[in-house]
Chains A and B, each alone.
Chain A
Amino acid sequence: MNEVTKIDGIGSSVRRTEDKKFLTGKGKYTDDINRPGQVQAYFLRSDVAHAKIKKIDIKNAQSAPGVIGVFTGDDIAADKVGGPICGWVVPCRDGSATKEPPHPLLAQGKVRFVGDAIAVVLAETAEQAKSGAELIDVDYEELSPVVDFENAGDGAQIHDEVPNNCYFDWELGDEKATADALSGAKKIVKLRVRNNRLVPNAMEPRCALAEFDNLDDSYTLHTTSQNPHLTRLVLAAFMFAIPESKLRVIAPDVGGGFGSKIYVYIEEAVCVWASKKVGRPVKWTADRTQAFLTDCHGRDHVNDVQLGLDENNKIVGLRVDTVCNLGAYLSAFSVVVPTYLHGTLLSGQYDIPAIYTNVKGMATNTVNVDAYRGAGRPEATYLLERTMETAAREVGMDPAEFRRINFIPKDAFPYQTQVALQYDIGDYEPHLDKAMEMIDYSNFEKRRAEAAKRGMYRGIGISSYIEACGLAPSAVVGALGGRVGLWESASVRVNPTGTISVFTGSHSHGQGHATTFAQIVADKLGIPMENVEVVHGDTDKTPFGMGSYGSRSLASGGSAISKAVDKIINKSKKIAAHLLEASEDDIDFKDGKFVVGGTDKEKAFGEIALAAYVPHNYPLETLEPGLEENAFYDPTNFVYPSGTHIAEVEVDPATGVVQVVDWAACDDFGNLVNPMIVEGQVHGGIAQGIGQALLEDAHYDENGQLLTASYMDYCMPRADDLPSFKVGYTTTPSTVNDLGVKGCGEAGAIASPPALINAVIDALSPLGVTDMSMPATPQKVWKAIQDSQSVAAE
């Protein structure tokens, strides 16, 4: 029998309703879409890192079989189409602005990284386009490539507009107060850490299909985007100077993004441009090599840290000097990631009275670097948690206790950090305690001794992280140099029979919104979640929205939905009052029913919906018919998830292999809508963090060639690299939004790398090893053991 009594509301681990199509291979991705008459695009890319283009000869390509058109930067320039823009800039220490060099869609006079697009070839088939491109002759004058970003200031200048290859030199915090604090400190702990460069590796490579309709002068672009509205805005307003209404952007099923699909890339724009130029739909699909070479990479920092302690081992001050690699052009959020999404997190979970940080963003002849799962916050957490562990070790304290005495106390919230953010709420000791309990911290030394008997070195490492997510209060964003607002939108349509269509500005590319968002609506309206459908990803269907990144979909997008549902309930009460001949104030809404308080008079939600659309008995003089509401939600603050992860590893000294043997993650994400989806996000995040800490490394050689441009050399985490995770929660509901939710999408990737590296160092500490860089590959670990032994032998 079909009993529909249980509401799968907030807090219920409902299975993801969208998974049926994905698990059966029925997802519909951009590359699955084909339009009549479409042509295929292939981009000829630079195979040198830095060169002037003396001449491009396209003659032979133009007459190649199947080729329809060959275009270069000059053709784009002739049509005055602009390049991608930087969405957020920061002021420099010397008062100057961020240097923003142009990023032409196709190279103009110069190439700046291996993979920089020089020309596009359009042909009947992808193979013909590629063959055509092979016939293009490019005459280069090679320039010396700049690869080492720490010394990029001394390298050949990459852009005329960027002296010393420095895009910006930014600071935050009180330099003088921090210097004073450090000079008065009893002990200063110094550390230099490197955050290795990562390739995002979304499972679905980027793809675009653009079509021009010459009857009404409009474009349709299907593309692999995390934020179709933003893509439309940038393309229409900044690049093509056309009304937004003349461009429809659809991001259908998208196979992962991790940040790499936030930005508008040159290929999408060229497809849009070319679709009009040749009067046929234009499709481009990246292969994996192009993904490696041209998707924005992540991380790539070097941080010099100084942490001052007083005689009680309390932190008195923190200074961090960072140099980061932003690559050949400034990508959309490349500037904000290492600055406001990084520097503002340097207080972590700790009460630090003085903080100062300086960040230099460098240009190099490598592909652009931008947001990647966590975006700035993993880098901040890594340097801080590595430093905390090192400090504890140096002062001879248990790392957990050292953290505990420095935590912001529970009663100090809201807590104003020295780096701009105000944490609304948090309670850090419970998740530390719980994680320690989950991993049986107190018996660790027994396990270490047991492992030693087997010839293995066992270690344990902690990371207590905080992140700011739910991006973001627009006013704050604007004050800090952001060029966008970061609210989110929702439209909730009640259909005549009481079913619901939710139109959200958030975009789902693996997060499970169709389930989570439906649960919120079902919970609030007291209706089964099967009756709620979630629509996203099409600028013609959904309200203008800012998309999904920065763990914002639930906190911002979910809150917008919740607000729209509140409006629905309010209007429904008015309708119910009319139907029940009662005063609106006397109507209670509970379990999907509108009841006149203290009576048995009631109307079900479905009856109200029907009355709204068939308004035969309806207060038409005071109320519009229909039941559909929009809401825009702009948060008043970030939300601050926090937690403690503890990793346990065993190192085989003979080979240097690190095995992750146990993992405890205890997170405070506020209220959980779907605990199972949250747990999945935690698992995925930790897997990516373990990838960064042990396996992944994007490596350019001194000529600017990406040596790790395939899975033969770039190591992604696989299931057998991972332990079984122990996942637990503590809860301090966010005070920022009505749902009390924070965000969980990036936490695992933020928390895990320092926990793991701390564990590796702990394992090797009996050998005198005190440092280890990421990724801790077998060769590197083995070398560290050899070096420590030769030191010991001296």
Chain B
Amino acid sequence: MYSTKYVKPNSTTEALEAIKSLGEGKFLAGGMTLIPTLKQRLASPDGLVDISGCKLDSIADEGETLKIGAMARHVSVAESAVVKKAIPALAKLADGIGDRQVRNRGTIGGSVANNDPSACYPSAVLALKATIHTNIRSIAADDFFTGMFETALEDDEIIEFISFSKPTKANYVKFPNPASRYAMVGVFVAQFGDEVRVAVTGAGEGGVFRHQEMESVLSSNFSADSLSSVKIDSDGLISDLHASAEYRANLIKEMTKRAVV
């Protein structure tokens, strides 16, 4: 790791001031992605602004939506009675991220800002029609994820919280990469009355995506059987050591079936 500056402000306002004064600065949330990158010398920011003191970790049920602060750790979401009641699938997703150590440190904001193509949360954000609230604006999930490791966030824009629409029914099923246990394919299915949203992570060359055909099939008949006729196209899917595009296509359908219960 190259040596770098470290500051830990007490509010978002101070954090934004700090990052502006640093040149090429980086927000530090749980550090589960950023710190390994620094250790391997793959990044050399001018400084780190630790946002864990900025009071961004609240979780609240706001009626129509569930609001989760960017600094909420995976473990907090997994164990939160509020989340378990409002959107149990989201608690289940958080509980399946990485290992205990990662869940104790990693945050929802960090996960969503990073938009790792194999991360779990982006699928929930997309399927649950979430809105990402930053220091300057609110961004709809459909506009937020712009490609692998790419989001609509500007430089020095900070996610403050994310609000999720409460579904009638939702489920997340993940097929973990055997080695890393990130999602090799993860499918988040959310039903809002007649509308069904299916978001797929781990599989797309462009990162998380919605699967329109399955959405429309499930909207008219919400059952695993109805998916049998759907053919998942392997074009645009990731092919790597662990899974070919064809195998991922198979997993997408299989995980979706398992999510529809």
Residues of A participating in the B interface, judged by any CB pair closer than 8 Å: 127, 130-131, 289, 654-656, 695, 699, 707-708, 711-716, 777-779, 782-783
Smallest distance from the beta carbon of A656 to chain B beta carbons, Å?
8
Q: Which residues of A contact B242 (CB under 8 A)?
A: 713, 777, 779
Q: CA A131 – CA B244 in complex, angstroms?
A: 38
Given A654-B254, A655-B254, A779-B242 in contact, is the A712-B180 Cβ separation under 8 Å? yes
Contact with A along B165-194 (1 / 0, CB 8 A): 000000000010011101000000000000
The answer to whether A779 and B243 touch (CB under 8 A), given A127-B1, A654-B254, is: yes
Question: With A699-B241, A779-B243 as given contacts, are A715 and B178 in contact (CB-CB < 8 Å)?
Answer: yes
Q: Given the interface contacts A779-B242, A779-B243, does A655 sit within 8 Å of B179 by beta carbon?
A: no
* Cβ-defined contact, B241 with A655, below 8 A: no
Contact assessment for A713 and B180 in the assembled complex, using a CB-CB cutoff below 8 Å: yes
Number of interface residues of B (CB under 8 A): 18
B247 contacts A782, C-beta separation under 8 Å: yes
Interchain nearest-CB distance for B256 vs A (Å): 12
Chain B residues engaging chain A, CB cutoff 8 angstroms: 1-3, 40-41, 175, 178-180, 182, 241-244, 247, 250-251, 254
Give the distance to chain A from B192, nearest Cβ to Cβ, in Å: 28
Can you give 29 A-B contacts (C-beta < 8 A)? A127-B1, A289-B40, A654-B250, A654-B254, A695-B178, A695-B179, A699-B241, A707-B241, A708-B179, A711-B179, A711-B180, A712-B179, A712-B182, A713-B179, A713-B180, A713-B241, A715-B178, A715-B179, A716-B179, A777-B178, A777-B242, A778-B178, A778-B247, A779-B243, A779-B244, A779-B247, A782-B247, A782-B250, A783-B247
Contact of A127 among B3, B178, B182, B244 (CB under 8 A): B3
> Interface residues of B: mostly helix, strand, loop or mixed?
loop
Complex Cα distance, B250 from A783, in Å, reads 11
| The 8 nearest A-B residue pairs measured at CB | A715-B179, A712-B180, A779-B247, A715-B178, A654-B254, A779-B243, A713-B179, A695-B178
> Which residues of B lie under 8 Å from residue A716 when comparing CB positions?
179
Question: What residues on B are CB-neighbors of A779 within 8 Å?
Answer: 242-244, 247
**CA of A127 to CA of B4 in the docked complex: distance in angstroms?**
12
Besides A654-B250, A708-B241, 5 new A-B residue pairs in contact (Cβ under 8 A), listed by A number: A655-B175, A712-B179, A714-B179, A782-B250, A783-B244
Q: When chains A and B are docked, how far (Å) is the Cα of A631 from the Cα of B251?
A: 62
Residue of A nearest to B179 (CB): A715
How many Å from the CB of B236 to the closest CB on chain A?
18
| Residues of chain B lying within 8 A (CB to CB) of residue A656 | 247
Most buried by A among B179, B182, B244, B251: B179
- Tell me the bound Cα distance from A714 to B242 in angstroms: 10
- By beta carbon, the residue of chain A nearest B175 is A655
Residues of B within 8 A of A695 (CB): 178-179
Q: In the complex, what residues of B have CB within 8 A of residue A708's CB?
A: 179, 241
- Taking CB as reference atom, which chain B residue is nearest A714? B179
A23-B85 Cα distance, complex, nearest whole Å: 39
Bound Cα distance A782, B40 (Å): 35
| B3 surroundings in chain A (CB, below 8 A) | 127
A712 to B, closest residue via Cβ: B180
Q: How far is the CA of A699 from the CA of B242 in the complex (A)?
A: 11
Question: If A699-B241, A777-B242 touch, does A655 touch B251 (CB 8 Å cutoff)?
Answer: yes
Chain A residue at minimum C-beta to C-beta distance from B248: A779
Closest Cβ of chain A to B118, distance in Å, is: 10
Residues in chain B near residue A713, CB distance under 8 A: 179-180, 241-242
CB distance from A702 to the nearest CB of B (A): 13
- Closest Cβ of chain B to A13, distance in Å, is 31
Most buried by B among A127, A655, A699, A708: A655
In the assembled complex, the CB of A147 is this many whole angstroms from the nearest CB of chain B, namely 15
Measured CB to CB, the nearest residue on chain B to A654 is B254
* Cβ of A284 to closest chain B Cβ, rounded Å: 18
Contacting residues, chain A, for B2 (C-beta < 8 A): 127, 131
Distance in angstroms from A127 CB to nearest chain B CB is: 7
Q: Whole-angstrom distance between the alpha carbons of A695 and B176 in the complex?
A: 13
> Complex formed: what's the CA distance from A656 to B248 in Å?
12
How distant is B208 from chain A, measured CB to nearest CB, in Å?
19
B75 to chain A, nearest CB (A): 19
Bound complex: CA of A185 vs CA of B247, how far in Å?
Answer: 43
Residues of A within 8 A of B178 (CB): 695, 715, 777-778
- Determine which residue in B41, B241, B243 has the highest number of CB atoms from chain A within 10 A of its CB, and name it: B241
A695 to B182, CA, bound (A): 15
Of all chain A residues, which has the CB nearest B251?
A: A655
Residues of A close to B180: CB separation below 8 A: 711-713
Query: How many Å lie between the Cα of A712 and that of B3 in the bound state?
Result: 25
User: How far is B253's CA from A654's CA once the two chains are assembled, in angstroms?
Assistant: 10
| CB nearest neighbor in B for A655 | B254
Complex-state Cα separation, A654 to B175, whole angstroms: 12
Chain B residues in 8 Å Cβ range of A130: 41
- Complex Cα gap A351–B179 (Å): 41
Closest B residue, CB atoms, query A701:
B241
User: Which residues does chain B contribute within 8 Å of A711, judged by CB atoms?
Assistant: 179-180
Smallest CB–CB gap between A611 and chain B, Å? 58
